Amino acid sequence: MNPVLKLLIEGGQLSTAQMAVVAGLSEADVNKHLEQLKKDKIFLGWRPVLDLSREAVAGAAVRAVIEVRITPERGGGFNRLSERLSHFDEVESCYLMSGSYDLLIFITGPSLQKVASFVSEKLSTLEGVLSTSTHFMLRSYKEGGFLIDAPEQASGRLKVAP
Amino acid sequence: MKKNIARHVVSLPKSGIRDFFEIVSKMKDVISLGIGEPDFDTPWHIREAAIYALEKGKTHYTSNLGTIELRREICKYVEKNYAVSYKPETDVIITVGVSEAIDLALRALINPGDGVLFHEPCYVSYSPSIALAFGEAIPIVTRAQDGFSLNVEDIAKAWKPNCKVLMMNLPCNPTGGTCDLERLQAIAKFAVEKDLIILSDEIYSELVYDGIHTSIASLPGMKERTLFLHGFSKAFAMTGFRIGYACGHPDLIEAMMKIHQYSMLCAPILAQEAALEALLHGEDGMKVMRDQYHRRRDLVVRRFREAGLSCHLPKAAFYAFPNIVATGVSERDFSFGLLEAEKVAVVPGTAFGQSGTGFVRASFATSYEQLIEACDRIERYTQNLASKRRT
Ligand SMILES: Cc1ncc(COP(=O)(O)O)c(C=O)c1O
């Protein structure tokens, strides 16, 4: 496996300079590997994991999960409509699901009203969308692998041990 | 009060780590490569199993040997991974860490004055445990040239007619030394010839990066004379749970159980429940940790070599054991100097026996970020030592 991909899978918290040291490569090589992974469409990009509830000004984001039922099309199945939906900037992630609905959509907006109007005006009016069910997120306990508000833990290890 | 302390306790040497620990623990912002335990927290599903057991009221004594469920799973695990089959009813005892298992085994086997062979450098408790069992501790040398593997010629050189037990720790703390099949076979043959009982501490055996681990207990005719010692501390990151086990001949297990029932009664039940969860569902998580240790090993050994230290590639465990003789100072001065100048803690090799002279132990059970920073500092330190020597 690509050595840089291995490190990304592990959690991707290292800078490219640190990855270089760990993998025994030059930083230029790490960047080359990243470029290759991008070309192969494996590595799509970086995203920070933020807890915006701590930032008073920026804290306005409202997030919701929407269950969407859609009609599959002859020839295209669910893909055409799903792809079309995914293009909206409000849509952060979009997944085809098994079970009682078809798509699970994660969306972010600046206010409750904005999210609501996106659902009622853009989403549910699209041809092929049968129904939507919107759930607003109230509080985050874990974000992208990071615990939110978990008390800081000092390492319990002794400083020297046999 | 001092005059009342038993002679054999008074004469135990002080741990070579203890005074070092005193200094390090008073310092701030030290990067410690001196820690012989995983930096990973115990995987959550294992901790959760302990919480659940507590909620269910599992707060009582267990059988002296440990819960039968855990003994059964241990037997399955050992058969699958080490190719030796034991009976859960009679051949296994759960102990408070491998530490207790070693103590029980030595006390069960040794008559005063019996010889116990063990290879050095080795885990700090081996020689004192032998002394506490009134045995004679007889070290066998191992060398950096062959990766601190154990050679039968060296065992034969150290052997004396009073020798009854051979203690082995492969893979080895502090050297990461392992033994290939050929060497193991030669050792097995020697053990049969001299009628030695083998205590095989295989606590690092999951954390092997090159080659495969073979237990000496799996060699023909060796199961009867080998006590297989293992535990959960290292591979499953469960040091604080204090669970180990011994598998071997029912007579020896019975004898160890006698001591255990009067001194310990049983290992803590919550920790036994957690250990059971580790065996049932912990393998994938363990492999993730192992892969990360592997990458850290490659990083640390490469950086040590770049810093001018000669360092063999440890095939297993989470310790690098570089030779610092080229820096012109002793392992003690190196360690104390490094601590003072760069706030990085490593352990002087002599803490693990005389044949650790000229070496230090650097544990790579710490994060990449810390390792990278520590290696930068060590490189700076060795360069400073080198330029001092030139002037
Ligand atoms: C070689 C060796 N044996 C035994 C032990 C003790 O392990 P436990 O936590 O199971 O008592 C250690 C711990 O460092 C060790 O390195």
- Domain residue limits, chain B: 2-42+284-385, 44-281
Q: Does domain B44-281 have CATH number 3.40.640.10?
A: yes
pLDDT band at A149, cuts 50/70/90? Answer: confident
Q: Identify whether A150 is part of a domain.
A: no
| B163-169 sheet: strands from edge to edge | B92-95, B244-247, B226-231, B197-201, B163-169, B115-120, B136-141
Same domain as A23, residue A97: no
* Closest listed residue to residue B257, CA positions, set B111, B391, B38, B94: B94
- CA A10 to chain B, closest CA, distance in angstroms equals 8
Ligand 1 center from residue A10 Cα (angstroms): 27
Those residues with Cβ within 8 angstroms of residue B294's Cβ, 6 or more apart along the chain or in another chain:
B209
DSSP B264: T
Cα Dmax for chain B: 69
**Residues with a CB atom less than 6 Å from ligand 1:** A 162; B 36, 97-99, 123, 169, 173, 201, 203, 231, 233, 239, 244
pLDDT band at A145 (very low <50, low <70, confident <90, very high): confident
Q: How far is the CA of B203 from the centre of ligand 1 (A)?
A: 7
Give how far B177 is from chain A: nearest CA, Å: 16
Residues A68 and A136 in one domain: yes
Nearest CA among A21, A11, A153, A155 for reference residue B373: A21
**Which chain A residue has its CA at the smallest distance from B42's CA?**
A156
According to the model, what pLDDT value does residue B143 have?
95
Is there a single domain that holds both residue A134 and residue A64?
yes
Mean pLDDT along residues B300-317? 97
pLDDT band at A152 (very low <50, low <70, confident <90, very high): confident
Name which of A64-78, B170-184, B356-370 the model is least confident about: A64-78
Give the SS3 label for residue A19.
helix
Numbered residues of chain B with Cβ closer than 8 Å to any chain A Cβ: 15, 17, 20-21, 24-25, 30, 32, 34-37, 39, 123-125, 173, 240, 292, 295-296, 298-299, 302-303, 345, 347, 351, 368-369, 372, 375
pLDDT for position A59: 56
Q: What is the pLDDT of residues B36-84, one digit of tens each?
A: 999 999 999 999 999 999 999 999 999 999 999 999 999 999 999 999 9
Residue A134 lies in a domain: yes
Partners of residue B20 in chain A, C-beta under 8 Å? 160
Interface of A with B (CB under 8 A): 6-7, 10, 14, 18, 21-24, 155-162
Q: For residue range B264-277, list pLDDT tens digits in order.
A: 999 999 999 999 99
Q: Same structural domain for residues A67 and A97?
A: yes
Contacts of B36 in chain A (CB under 8 A): 161-162
Say how far residue B299 (Cα) sits from the centre of its chain.
22
Whether residues A135 and A96 fall in one domain: yes
Chain A contact set for B305 (CB, 8 A): none
Residue showing tokens 């009582």: B60
| Whether the predicted pLDDT of B184 surpasses 70 | yes
The single residue listed with the structure tokens 């491998």 is B98
* Helices A16-23 and A3-10, axial angle in degrees (round to 10): 120
Exposed/middle/buried for residue B81 (C-beta within 10 Å: 0-12, 13-18, 19+): middle
Contact at CB, B35 and A159, closer than 8 angstroms: yes
Cβ contacts of residue A98 below 8 Å, gap of 6+?
none
Closest-CA distance of chain A to residue B88, Å: 31
Rounded Cα–Cα distance for residues B27 and A39 (Å): 48
Inter-residue long-range contacts of A19-28, CB under 8 Å, 24+ positions, other chains counted = A21/B299, A21/B303, A21/B368, A21/B372, A21/B375, A22/B295, A22/B296, A22/B299, A22/B368, A22/B372, A23/B295, A24/B298, A24/B299, A24/B302
Contacts of A158 in chain B (CB under 8 A): 21, 25, 35
Question: Has residue A160 been placed in a domain?
Answer: no
Burial class (CB in 10 A: 0-12, 13-18, 19+), A58: exposed
The number of C-beta contacts closer than 8 angstroms across A and B is 61
Q: Are B335 and B343 in contact (CB under 8 A)?
A: no
Range of the domain at A118: 55-140
Statement to judge: residues A31 and A77 lie in one domain = no
- Per the document, the length of chain B is 391
Domain shared by A32 and A76, yes or no: no
- pLDDT tens track for A55-109: 766 556 899 999 999 999 888 789 999 999 999 989 999 999 999 999 999 999 9
How far from B133 is each of A62, B108, B109, B159, B226, CA to CA, in Å? Answer: 67, 9, 9, 19, 19
Instruction: Determine the pLDDT at residue A58.
Output: 59
Mean pLDDT of chain B: 96
**Number of structural domains in chain A:** 2
Chain A, nearest residue to B22 by Cα:
A160
Ligand 1 pocket test: which of B233, B238, B347 has the largest number of ligand atoms within 8 Å of its C-beta?
B233
- Ligand 1 geometric centre to CA of B262 (Å): 23
Q: Is the dihedral of CA B238, B240, B241, B246 positive or negative?
A: positive
- Interchain contact, A160 vs B15, CB within 8 Å: no
Q: Are residues A119 and A80 in the same domain?
A: yes
| Set of chain A residues whose Cβ sits within 8 Å of the Cβ of B296 | 22
> How far does B77 lie from chain A, in Å, by closest CA?
27
- The interface predicted TM-score (ipTM) is 0.77
8 Å CB contact between B70 and B94: yes
Q: Determine the average pLDDT of the residues in B241-253.
A: 98
A27 lies in the same domain as A88: no
Q: Which residues does A151 contact at the CB level (< 8 Å), separation at least 6?
A: none
Angle at B312 between CA B306 and CA B314, to 5 degrees: 115
Asked if the Cβ–Cβ distance from A160 to B299 is below 8 Å, we say: no
Rounded distance between C-alpha atoms, residue A110 and residue A63, angstroms: 9
Mean pLDDT of the region B205-221? 97
Give me chain A's average pLDDT, please: 90
- The enclosing domain of A78 has a CATH number of 3.30.70.920
pLDDT at A60: 61
Within-domain flag for A48: no
Residues A74 and A102 in one domain: yes
Backbone angles phi, psi at B163, to 5 degrees: -70, 130
Q: Does residue A9 contact residue A43 with C-beta atoms inside 8 Å? A: no
CATH topology classification for B2-42+284-385: Aspartate Aminotransferase, domain 1 (3.90.1150)
- Sign of the four-CA dihedral B72, B73, B74, B79: positive
Taking an 8 Å cut-off on Cβ atoms, the answer to whether B298 and A159 are in contact is: no
The answer to the question of residue A50 being in a domain is no
Which residues contact residue B132 at a Cβ distance below 8 angstroms, ignoring those fewer than 6 apart? B8, B9, B12, B103, B106, B107
Are residues A32 and A83 part of one domain? Answer: no
| First CA to last CA distance, chain A | 35
Q: Is the pLDDT of residue B236 over 80?
A: yes
**Position of tokens 């700076």?**
B380
**Is A33 inside a domain boundary?**
yes
Asked if residue B166 lies in contact with residue B199, where contact means CB atoms within 8 angstroms, the answer is: yes
**Which spans in B269-367 are helix H?**
269-281, 283-306, 331-342
Mark yes or no for CB contact B298/A21 under 8 Å: no
If you measure from the C-alpha of residue A11 to the centroid of ligand 1, how many angstroms do you get, rounded to a whole number? 29
Measured torsion, CA atoms of residues B361, B364, B367, B373, in degrees rounded to the nearest 10: 50
Contact B171, B138 (CB under 8 A): no
Give residue B210's identity as a one-letter amino acid code. Answer: D
- Mean of pLDDT values over B84-112: 98
A27 and A84 in one domain?
no
Residues of chain A positioned with their CB less than 8 A from the CB of B123: 162
pLDDT band, very low/low/confident/very high, at B388 (cuts 50, 70, 90): confident
Helix (H) or strand (E) holding A103: strand A103-109
Polymer length of chain A: 162
B13-27 pLDDT, tens digit per residue, is: 887 788 788 889 899
C-alpha B65 – ligand 1 centre gap (Å): 20
CA distances from B14 to B19, B127, B296, B344 (A): 9, 12, 32, 23
Q: How far apart are CA B172 and CA B203, in angstroms?
A: 9
Nearest-CA distance from B336 to chain A in Å? 13
